[in-house]
Structure formats: structure tokens, C-alpha cells
Structure 1
Amino acid sequence: MKKIFSFLFVAGFILNAVAQKKPVYFPESDLTITGAYYYPEHWDEVQWERDFKKMSEMGFEFTHFAEFAWAQLEPEEGKYDFAWLDRAVALAAKYKLKVIMCTSTATPPVWLTRKHPDILKMREDGTLMDHGSRQHASFSSEIYRTYSMKMIAELARHYGKDDRIIGWQLDNEPASNVDYGKDAEKRFRAWLKNKYKNIDALNKSWGTNFWSNTYTDFEQINIPQHSQWGMNLYQRLDHSRFCDEETANFLDLSAKEIRKYSTPKQWITSNYIPNYESRYIGNSKQLDFVTYTRYMVYGEHNGTGPKGYRVGEYSRIAMANDYFRPLSPNYGVMELQPGQVNWGSINSQPIPGAVRLWLWHVFAGGSKLTCTYRFRAPIYGYEQYHAGIIGTDGVTPTRGGLEFEQYIKDIKLLRKNKSKAPLPVDYLKRKTAILYDPDNTIAINQNKQTVVWDTEAHVLKYYKALKGMGAPVDFIRDSTDFAQYPVIVLPAYQQMSRKLIAKLTDYVSKGGNLVLSTRTGHQDEQGHLWEAKHAEPIWPLIGAEIEFYDLLKPHASDNVEMGTNSYAWTSWGDVLKPTGNTQTWATYAGDFYAGKAAVTFRKAGKGSVTYVGPDSNTGELEQAVMQKLYGQLNIPVEHYPPGVIVEYRDGFGIALNYADKPYEMKLPRGTEILIGKTTLNTADVLVWKLK
């Protein structure tokens, strides 16, 4: 009996340890939770209780503190004041609001910047940033790192075991740490030495024999002047990698400091702007999951139709969902636009219903939490005229606030109507991955070859085609297990190792289907052109030679002919010569290589490989190729118009309409509709329960 008890005790201890290692931060029964930023330091304390009471009455489940409050947390060096924040946490808890605590490293106090001005970022021209903004201190500054970690440690000691705190946000919208200061230069040299080990290896990788760039010692290397014409491409590329890594490891240091004092129940994240050429996103290994920020109407995107700018470009939330979700077990949205903003080029009013549409779109992608900036609209500071959930009078909900309130009620309805139904079989059959590496994008963008080229726009042509076909999409890296995806798309994957080529070849032989687009495989993983014929290492994979590529003038588009249709192209075209049994699906027209292959397809092993040579002007060619391929593979697809998104999660179907025309959603007879109607007007949402 004693032995059995001992065994059960040990087994229970192990299970408990596993449970502590992987706590459940977001119970499945919640589906998702919703919160709002609040800045106690911005408001008279007599108003706090009124505000938290209103926040709770509107259905919000958590709030968010201390994002930019270092000056209030540490008003003098080494003297900390948490009393005001304690009172705010207590009032939030009184109204059943959990708290996300934020480190305030985006805004150092003035006593620190004046005592140590060298913590400020130095621009390329040698001038220093100054106090009065945010993100003006350098993650590369050793002094700044020291002071930051001291402050974070004090904050974590105070709140790390507080059950009212559900998690931590590190910094705010951290960006690549570009700094030309002395510490940054010193750390860059150390980073290079750690990467290359010896100067000969660096010279070989950077190709320094070109233009007499050769170095004999790491101390000779400065931070490259990115504005200087002809600067070594590989030095610039490595410097951008270093800047991203400085951001990632600063966040890791912050997380480690919190974990010295916090309970495992408290999670740690950071909120990123979805820049798809940022390597630091997902590269902080100490975070429990990632979150993103998304603003949809600020003058930069026209959306669909003449008034589409009021609802926003539908791919912005869709792609952010599909990019962030594969990076961590959970993901969330830490800042979602609550209404009109102030910092864009043209700060229009969103169309009524747009805020609720965005909330549902975030949910549709699988988000575990959604938070909005901010509960109360600011009445002073840089972000005057930025809407909140409550207007400038402090009591009246804005239209966006009412839409948040409605969404929260909708989620409560879903919680009462749980479904254990599996996702639709046809939906899962068209599950597709886009193989994407931000390092590759940066390498292309610093040497585009033509001003017409736009890497993100090129990726979006394939992405939008897939979403129009109703495909669930994951953005993946080359370390991912490819076998789980029937189709993988590689848009403009220019830098490619032989190891990756072998992995892709194996994937195809076992039944996978590859789509490779223009500019793929032209260089090795170091960004060097192959010492071979142009892109020759991928010829056996695609079943064709790439004879050459062409770049057209913006005023002189040519066409690609596929079946009875013609598609205009301008920016880049790989001209193909099929070999063996490779089929030609489309040909070039209008120039000296008219009739040459533009799109090829071959069966290989149990799978297939499609190569799309040109980057079309509108994305219609890419859409036609994808539809033909899925037809050939007997993968069932939908035909949603641009702006209509349909996703499935947790036993529910969600349809969203960003388009300027109504869309009629066809559902099986007897489907239980929980929210909305099958006729979706602009900004409408439809939610139904799966059987």
C-alpha cells in the first residue's frame, strides 16, 4: 500500500509539475475575453470608481495598466510609488475586472534621460532623440537595460503573486532597435563576432572582396550608413538582423526578470505592430504567446468600393490572424481600433458596424483575447481626438463603445450555445500554408531591381486568392512540419538553402503540392547568387529551367495568356523552359519571348509543383492559377468575392462582409443562426452553430 501511495504521489507530482509548466491561461468555455486600456494617472482619482463601474457594466472582463507610467512608478531614482496603482487595481477588482500589468520601458522618466542622455537613440546623422515622446531610448544602451530591469523587478516583486493580475505586457509596440550610439556599435561588433567567429568567415559571407571592402578585425566595422549609396548589402542585412535581435532579447530579459517573482498563472506577452519584415516578432523565446495591434481606418487603405476606406482593407486583420496564430499556442489582439483615430493621414469616421465587424474578424481567426486602446478618450496629449469607448465627457459611450458592448453580449450568447461539432471537412481539405521568412523579404526589399516591385503586395495576391477560395491559411517557417498541409505556397522566396530545397522535394514526393512564384530560389541562404546557371538548384524541383527574368516599365505592361484570358504584368517575370513531362499552363505575349512558358505544372512523386513566373498587376492571374490547381487536385473551394471572409472556430461559422455590395451566404437547411442574417450588407456579421 505504501508503494502504491508513493507511486501515486510521484505521478501526481509529475502531473502537477506538467500542469504548472503549461497553465491554462484561457479556459475553452470563455471562447475569448475582452478588455480596455485605462490610464489611472491621466484622470482625477475621484473618477476612477465611476469609470471601472461603467467598464464592468458594459461587459468588459479586464483592463490594462501602467503602459507609459514609469515617471509615476519611479518619480525619483530608486524611489518607487505603487500606492496609486494599488488603489486602481483594488477598484478594478471591486468590479470584477482582471488586470494586465504593463512594463513602462517605452517611456523612461526625464530624470533618467537627463542623467544619462546616452540612453537615447542616436540617428544616422549623429543627432540624439530627446525626452517627450516614446520609444526614444535604445534597447542597446547598457545603462538603459540596467535601469529598465531594476524597475521591472520592483514591479514584479509587487504584483507577481497578485491573483488580480492575469498577465504582463512587455513594453509597447516594440520596434526594431535602430541606434547609432556607442553601445549599439559595440554590441553590433560583438554580435558579428559571435555569429562569424572569425573575420575571414565574415569577409566571405559579406563578399568584401567587392569594392575593396575587406576587413582584418571586427573593431574596424561600424554600423552601416543605410542612406549611403552602394553600402555593402550583407552588412546592411546583418545590421537589420542585429537591430531586430536587440529588440527580441530585451523583451526576453524583461520576461526573465518578471518570472523571478511572478506566479506561473500570470502570462507574459508583448503587442506587436504586424510588420511582415520584422524578425523580432515571435523571436522572444520567453514570451508565453504573442499579441498584435491593429488599426483599420486611418487614411492609408481604401478597402473595397468608393467608401471602403470607412471599413478598412479586409486582408489586414485576416493576414495578421493567420501570421500570428502559428507563432504561439495562443494569440490575442492587444489594441483594436475603437473608432476614429488622430494619428493617420486622414482620420475618417469608420462606418457604423465596422468596429463590431473587426471584433468578430479577430475572433474568427482564433484570438483568445481582444483589448482596445482605450476606455476613455484622451483630452490632452499627442493623441487628442483619438476615440475611446467613452467620449471626452467621461460618461457617454461612443458608437464604437456601443459596438464593443454589443459584441461582448454576442460572445456571452455563444458561451451559452456551445458546440462540439468538428470543423467542416471541405474547409479542412483546403488548409494551406504560405512559407514566409521576413529575413527574405528584407533582403529583397533592399535590392528590388525595379521600383514597381512590392513584396507584401505580391504575397497578398496569393493570400487573397486563398481567402477567396475559403481556405484556412497558416504562415509558416521552414522549420515547420510540412506534412500537415496539402498545399504550400512560396511567394517570392528568393533566398533558399539546399537543405530547404531537399525538404521541399521530399514533401512533394510524399504527396505535397507546392506553388512557387516568381523570384524564388534565385539565391542561396546567404543571399549570394548560385555559382551555377540562374536559379539552377531548383530546376529539378520545378521541372523547368528559368532562362532569364524581365522587368518592364510601368507604362509598358505586357500580358500573360492562360486559356482564353489575358493578364497584365509589369514588375517581374521569370521566363521558363519546361523539361520532361512538365506542362505549360500560361505563356508570355507581347515581347521578344512571346510564346515562352510563364506558368508551369508538373506531377512529381505523389505530389505536384506549380511555378508562376510573373507577378501580375492585379492578382487575377495568381487567383486563376490557384483555382485551376485546386480543381486539378480535387480540393473543393468556395468563390467568395473580395471583402467577404468566412472562417470556423469552436463549433461556429463566422461570415464577415467588408465589401461594398450585399452578399448572400448559403447555409445548409436547418442551420441554427445565432447572430445576423444570411444577407450580409457592408460591415454585417453572421454567426451560426455547426452540427
Structure 2
Amino acid sequence: MSKPERRPYRWPSHLKKQASKLWYGCDYNPDQWPEEVWDEDIRLMNQAGVNVVALAVFSWSRIEPSEGVFDFDWLDRIIAKLGKAGIGVNLASATASPPAWLTQSHPEILWKDERGDTVWPGARQHWRPTSPVFRTYALKLCKAMAEHYKDNPYVVAWHVGNEYGCHNRFDYSDDAMRAFQRWCKHRYGTIDAVNEAWGTSFWAQRLNDFSQILPPRYIGEGNFQNPGRLLDFERFSSDALKEFFMAERDTLAKITPDIPLTTNFMVSSEGFIMDYDDWGPQVDFVSNDHYFMPGESHLDELTYSSGLVDSIARRKPWWLMEHSTSAVNWRPINFRKEPGQLVRDALAHLSLGADAICYFQWRQSQSGAEKFHSAMVPHAGEDSQVFRDVCELGNDLVGFSDAGLAGTVLDKSPVAVVLDYESEWASKHSSVPSKNVSHGTEPLDWYRALLDLGIRADVVPVRSDWDTYPLVVLPSLYLLSRENSERLHDYVAKGGKVIVTYLSGISDAHDRIWLGGYPGSIRDLLGIKIEEFAPMDQHVEGGMDHLDLTNGTVAHDWADVIASISDDTRILARYQADSWTGMDGIPALTLHDWKQGKAAYLGCRLGREGLKKTLPELLKALKVEGLQEADEARGDVLRVERVSEDGRNRFVFLFNRSHHQVQVDREGSVLAASLAWEDTDAKTATLDVNGVLVEKVVTRRH
């Protein structure tokens, strides 16, 4: 997995060239409202502290009402009003959804599903990225937008497209087929190399020519697709949309070279639509859309996702392009945010490296599919708790800017939890030992278990510099390329500490099994050999539904049958089970000293609670400096730091993770407190549920 060349980092400049200010804003859709509302919107924006809006994201039909006829007058007027009020514009390329006149004239731009059925207009993103016809029209619009606004002083950034692949990730049309054939030829060079990578000797699938390559179209219920082809189609689909984005980007950049460009990713614990780490180098600055997960995982999942965005941005400040003030509109049940969570969530994103906090959207829609999606100005208007919280947050952000927070970076954790988009794609294939497990869910369990012990880990992509951390966790990293296998060997040989879990290192980069026993390419490093898997299920009567471990934890869903270990491998926990299972006494958790480092292996799924119980002793055994005193008592508070480049200024964010009040030690001067207050001793503070305290700590040099 090669590292793509990164574009130079460029951050949008404020209208008054105030480089130290944080951005605060939203998506703004003035074309949904009568023009007499615009002045009222700007008055309220100034009241809330808004200094940037994204415009024209879904405005193609308004900008180009008929082919070749452009209407910029309305957009010019609102941009001028915003700019004169001190509000910058993050201007969209407006290509996210084509207008009716285009799809009527050229229905061949519409994407097709795996059965060959056309996906008709009526929602959004009803275009295929491989359509040469659609590309022509989209780039024509980009050129017109760039030419018209190239000298506009109020445009601070380009918002290219919108949430690429949210609805049109997979297209099975003939355009996609031809593009997939070209992609395979570029990747492999020869058809024999494709046959080798995909293992086409199985089921007589051997190919004689690239023209015989098809997308993984419908093959009948109950049949199994070739896993190598499926994995490559996932890669191709991400690349096809990336190529389309890059074409838009380059069209805009050629005409407006001084305006930074970005597009909004959708990074979350469930967001494996694109290989976002592969996309990261292609933007001038990374942006993300994130919507909260309702329930007890809300804050943890949010900080997990923001930490991953920070890693994708390679620790450069990033832009939170969208999140919600309260409820969304697209879940079966759309829960509102609890009191305090509007401010708390924004500050959580901020703590993990965001220098821009934006919402979808400014004014809650009166009609359309998103009319129940919350906004900065709700249906109830300015006399509402939501808008009061929006103004409170705006005031806090001004204070943070004045204190010098902008441009600081997330403090590095001693622990890296590694995530790999391609491992998730491959491990969710239809023909696997268990569909109840995959790579994607395991990193969040480890992240949360570490938080429960007072340890905030960095969530890092597999391409990143994970081998610079004292401790690395590889959670169900199903694909392990030869390059990453060698990299892991080098890391441990030089003194690194690693924890590898079940379902890791099963296959190489082409999803071909590493032979000789699992995990084939790193068996020597771990000092174990696995011969079989023992999946479990609670719904099969008389089957094995769990396994007890000698350390008091319980495994569910998956266990490895570790058949042998090397003489110098220590067993830290075994399974305790009835004899009929064949699992009694089998090693479950091992530790192997290898050269200058240590490698632990956990051969089962313990879940967050089991990991929390296992980690204290495991961390002691690994002897990772600073992590041997893991303490569950510290788990109620999430502590995050941002630090200045010279290390003198530290910004400490303290979040209450619990559903009860917690007390924290004061560390510096208070910049913001939401549902938090200083205690009478002045040395501690109390955080209520959803409370957050932000302090600045200055290190004085002598």
C-alpha cells in the first residue's frame, strides 16, 4: 500500500487576514428562502459569531437553469451581503446533484445497481462518476463558477462536490465496467497478474483478456462473488470518485490557484465508504462531516472519529464541515441532543484538532427531505434554547481564538490503534468464517476500553506513522501486506510493543491467505500458530456460544484455535470450557519477547468490557512506559490536550464521560465552562452530565 504524494497544506485566510481565528459557521441555503429573509439571517449570524458559510452545495439547477444559461445574480447578491458583514464564503462547485434538464437529456449519466436497474432522479447524487458525458457537464460548471468568482474577495475556499459516494459509491453500468477494466490494466499490467491476484483457477473463472472483466454484478441469491474481484472493485470505486473529484479540483485550481480546496469526508466508526486516508493527500486541508451516534457511545464515538480525522490530516488543523445542533432526519428514530451536548460535541471536535466548527445547516428547512433535520436557527426561531446554545458556542470560540488556540495541534498519545479501510472491505465478504465480526468494529472497542482506564489513544490509518508510537494495537487487521508485515517486524525488533488480535494477518493485500498457519506473515513475531477458527453464536441451539477465560473475562463470536506456541511464548490466559468443545486449556492471550520488543496476541473477541478487565495486567506485562498504572477510576473523565508549536501553551479539555457528576483537578486558567463550575477550594472543578471544562496552561521558561 503506497503512500500518495500530499498536496501542500493550505488553510483558508480570514477576510481580515486574522490568521489566529477559528472558523465558525454552517451550510447556508438562501435559495430555499425568499430574499427578504437574507438580511435577517445575516443579523442573526453576526449575533451568533458566524464568520463563514458554505454556499451553493445543491444549487446547480439554480445556477444553470437550462443548458449553457448561467444565472449568478442571486448568488452574487448573497455573497456580497455576507462579505460586507464579515462572513467568508466556502463556495461549492455545485455539482453534487445534476438538474432535471441534464438527466432528461442524458439519462446515460444515471448510475445502475448490481441488477442493472437505473437509479432515477428524485433524491441526490444520481450520477455515475465514470460517465464521460456527466464529467463534461460538471467540469463546464466548475469552469464557469471559477471564472465568475476568481476575483471575488469574499470566497475563502472551494467546497468541491459534496460527500462523494454517499449514495453513488457503487455503479455497475457499462461505463463503470470499461473504467474497471482500465483500472485493472493499470494496476496489474497483464491479465495473468489479475488471474494470480484473484485466484481465478477456482470455479473456472480464468480470464483471457481485460475485456472479460466485469463489475461484481448480480449473480443470483446464495452465490459467492470472487473475493479478490470484490476487494478490487471496492478500491476501484473509491478511486473512480477520487479521480472525478480531482478533475473538479484541478479545473477550479487552474483558474483560481490562490483559493484553497477541500471536500467533505464522512469519517466515523462506521464510515468505510471511501478509503479516506487515500483521499487525504488530495485536498489542501482535510474536512469532515460527522453526525453523533445516539446512546451511551455518543461522546466516545465522536472523539474516536475526530481523532481519526486528525490522523488522516497528519496532525494539521482540519475543518468540521457538518454536524448537527440536535436531531438528524435520516435514522429510524431521530433522537434530539441532550442539554449541553450542542456545546460539548463542538468542543470535543475542537479538542481533537478541528480549527473550524460548522453545522448543517443555518436555517431549518420548511420543506423537502431534510425539513426535520436540526439547524442553528430551528423552526422555533431565535427565541429557542438551540439558538441560545449556538450563540454561547460562538462566544466561546472567540475566546479560544483570543487565547491562541487556532493553529495548535493535538497532543500525541503513547498508544496507536490502527485502522485499515481495505481490511474492513475484505473482512465483510459474504464467504467468511463469521459475519458477526469484521475489522471495522474492533478499533472502537479498543479505543473505548482504553478510555475506560483513563488512556486516550490515537486512531491512526495503516499508512500513517504508527511505528513511531510506544504501543501499537492491530485490531482485527485482516489484510496484512508483505510491506506492512516487514514494517511490523522492524518496529518490534527495535523495541516496539504491539498487541495483535484475532482476525489479523489472515490474508495479503490481494486477500490471498498467508499459508502455513495463521497469522502467516507474522507467526514468528507472535510465537504462535493458529490452525482453525472457532466462531460462536448465541442462536444455534447446542452450539458453543461463549468461552470463559482464566482471567475472568468471556469471549463471544470468535476464538482462534492456537495449536502451538514457541518455547519462549508466555500464556497469560487460557480458555476454560467443556471437553466436547475442544477448547479447554487452549491459549487465549499470549506474550512473546522478540528481539528488543514484545508482541502480545489476543485470540478472541472480548468486547469493550472484557478488554477493560484484561488491559491493566497486559499493559504491565508489556512494560510500556507511562501505561502500567491504568486505572478504571480515571475513566469517567476524558482529558484531551492541544499544544502550541513551541510547547509553551497547552489547552486542556476535560469532558464528563459518565451519567453522574465528576470532580476534576484544576490545571490552569478557565477559558470556557459548560455545565461545569469551579469548586470552593479553587483547586478542583465539578462537571455535570455532558459537562466540559477548557483551560489554558502556560509553561513559563526561565
Q: Please report the TM-score for the alignment, with normalisation by the length of structure 1.
A: 0.89
Q: What's the CA shift for 1:569?
A: 2.4
Q: Which residue of 1 aligns with 2:611?
A: 622
Q: Does 1:649 align with 2:642?
A: yes
Q: What's the CA shift for 1:187?
A: 0.9
Q: Which residue of 2 aligns with 1:634?
A: 625
Q: Does 1:204 align with 2:196?
A: yes
CA contact (8 A) 1:337 1:372 kept: yes
Cα distance in 1 for partners of 2:633, 2:362 equals 35
Q: Does 1:509 align with 2:493?
A: yes
Q: Which residue of 2 aligns with 1:663?
A: 662
Greater mean deviation of Cα atoms: 583-592 or 532-541: 532-541
| Alpha carbons of structure 1 residues 583 and 423: separation in structure 2 relative to 1, 3 Å | farther
Residue-by-residue CA offset, 1:162-188 (whole Å, 9 max, x unaligned): 221111111111116311222111111
Cα distance in 2 for partners of 1:127, 1:498 equals 40
Q: Secondary structure at the match of 2:96?
A: coil
Aligned AA (1:327): I
Q: Does 1:83 align with 2:73?
A: yes
Q: Which residue of 2 aligns with 1:582?
A: 569
Q: Which residue of 2 aligns with 1:557?
A: 545
Cα distance in 1 for partners of 2:86, 2:587 equals 64
Q: Does 1:494 align with 2:486?
A: no
Aligned AA (1:681): D
Q: Secondary structure at the match of 1:292?
A: strand
Match for residue 395 of structure 2 among 406, 409, 419: 409
Q: CA RMSD in A?
A: 2.6
Q: What's the CA shift for 1:431?
A: 2.0
The 5 A counterparts of 1:228-307 are: 228=220, 229-274=223-268, 275-284=270-279, 285-296=281-292, 301-303=294-296
Q: What's the CA shift for 1:553?
A: 2.3
Aligned AA (2:500): L
Q: Which residue of 1 aligns with 2:428?
A: 445
Q: Does 1:348 align with 2:348?
A: no
Name the % identity: 24
Cα distance in 2 for partners of 1:459, 1:293 equals 20
Greater mean deviation of Cα atoms: 380-389 or 263-272: 263-272
CA contact (8 A) 1:338 1:401 kept: no
Q: Which residue of 1 aligns with 2:3?
A: none
Greater mean deviation of Cα atoms: 605-614 or 569-578: 569-578
Cα distance in 2 for partners of 1:487, 1:130 equals 50
Where in structure 2 are there 5+ consecutive unaligned residues?
1-6, 644-649, 678-684
| Alpha carbons of structure 1 residues 529 and 498: separation in structure 2 relative to 1, 3 Å | same
Match for residue 366 of structure 2 among 372, 379, 384: 379
Q: What's the CA shift for 1:31?
A: 5.7
Aligned AA (1:414): F
Aligned AA (2:285): F
| Alpha carbons of structure 1 residues 286 and 576: separation in structure 2 relative to 1, 3 Å | same
Aligned AA (2:282): Q
Q: Which residue of 1 aligns with 2:89?
A: 99
CA contact (8 A) 2:111 2:119 kept: yes
Q: What's the CA shift for 1:604?
A: 2.3
Q: Secondary structure at the match of 1:283?
A: helix
Q: Secondary structure at the match of 2:320?
A: strand
Residue-by-residue CA offset, 1:173-225 (whole Å, 9 max, x unaligned): 11163112221111111111222211111111111111111111111222112
Cα distance in 1 for partners of 2:13, 2:418 equals 29
Cα distance in 1 for partners of 2:501, 2:566 equals 18
Q: What's the CA shift for 1:572?
A: 3.6
Q: Which residue of 1 aligns with 2:694?
A: 687
The 5 A counterparts of 1:26-175 are: 30=20, 32-175=22-165
Cα distance in 1 for partners of 2:405, 2:425 equals 43
Greater mean deviation of Cα atoms: 440-449 or 554-563: 554-563
Where in structure 1 are there 5+ consecutive unaligned residues?
1-19, 305-312
Match for residue 312 of structure 2 among 302, 307, 327: 327
| Alpha carbons of structure 1 residues 26 and 605: separation in structure 2 relative to 1, 3 Å | farther
| Alpha carbons of structure 1 residues 41 and 465: separation in structure 2 relative to 1, 3 Å | same
Aligned AA (1:278): I
Q: What's the CA shift for 1:435?
A: 2.3
Q: What's the CA shift for 1:666?
A: 3.1
Q: What's the CA shift for 1:483?
A: 4.2
| Alpha carbons of structure 1 residues 31 and 42: separation in structure 2 relative to 1, 3 Å | same
Q: What's the CA shift for 1:684?
A: 1.1
Cα distance in 1 for partners of 2:90, 2:283 equals 14
Q: What's the CA shift for 1:86?
A: 0.5
Cα distance in 1 for partners of 2:172, 2:520 equals 40
Q: Which residue of 2 aligns with 1:317?
A: 302
Cα distance in 2 for partners of 1:29, 1:190 equals 44
Cα distance in 2 for partners of 1:422, 1:384 equals 37
CA contact (8 A) 1:23 1:264 kept: no
Cα distance in 2 for partners of 1:574, 1:400 equals 54
Q: What's the CA shift for 1:120?
A: 0.7
Q: Secondary structure at the match of 1:219?
A: helix
Residue-by-residue CA offset, 1:212-271 (whole Å, 9 max, x unaligned): 111111112221125641121111221121111111111111110110111424333334
Cα distance in 2 for partners of 1:223, 1:406 equals 51
Cα distance in 2 for partners of 1:84, 1:658 equals 46
Aligned AA (1:441): E
The number of aligned residues is 654
Cα distance in 2 for partners of 1:41, 1:273 equals 28
Aligned AA (1:256): D
| Alpha carbons of structure 1 residues 466 and 542: separation in structure 2 relative to 1, 3 Å | same
Aligned AA (1:281): Y
Q: Secondary structure at the match of 1:619?
A: helix
Match for residue 521 of structure 2 among 516, 519, 537: 537
CA contact (8 A) 1:364 1:654 kept: yes
Aligned AA (2:292): M
Q: Please report the TM-score for the alignment, with normalisation by the length of structure 2.
A: 0.88
Q: Does 1:370 align with 2:357?
A: yes
| Alpha carbons of structure 1 residues 574 and 35: separation in structure 2 relative to 1, 3 Å | farther
Residue-by-residue CA offset, 1:261-294 (whole Å, 9 max, x unaligned): 1142433333435344233423334311221112
Cα distance in 1 for partners of 2:409, 2:41 equals 40
Q: What's the CA shift for 1:23?
A: 4.5
CA contact (8 A) 2:418 2:466 kept: no
Match for residue 476 of structure 1 among 460, 463, 467: 460
Q: What's the CA shift for 1:30?
A: 3.4
Cα distance in 2 for partners of 1:230, 1:258 equals 43
Q: Which residue of 1 aligns with 2:601?
A: 611
Q: What's the CA shift for 1:44?
A: 0.8
Cα distance in 2 for partners of 1:683, 1:644 equals 11
Q: What's the CA shift for 1:559?
A: 2.9
| Alpha carbons of structure 1 residues 456 and 38: separation in structure 2 relative to 1, 3 Å | same
Q: Secondary structure at the match of 2:416?
A: strand
Q: What's the CA shift for 1:410?
A: 1.4
CA contact (8 A) 2:265 2:276 kept: no
Q: Secondary structure at the match of 2:278?
A: coil
CA contact (8 A) 1:482 1:507 kept: no
Q: What's the CA shift for 1:512?
A: 1.0
CA contact (8 A) 2:11 2:285 kept: no
Aligned AA (1:282): D
Q: Secondary structure at the match of 1:46?
A: helix
Cα distance in 2 for partners of 1:340, 1:214 equals 51
Q: What's the CA shift for 1:664?
A: 2.0
Cα distance in 2 for partners of 1:396, 1:479 equals 46
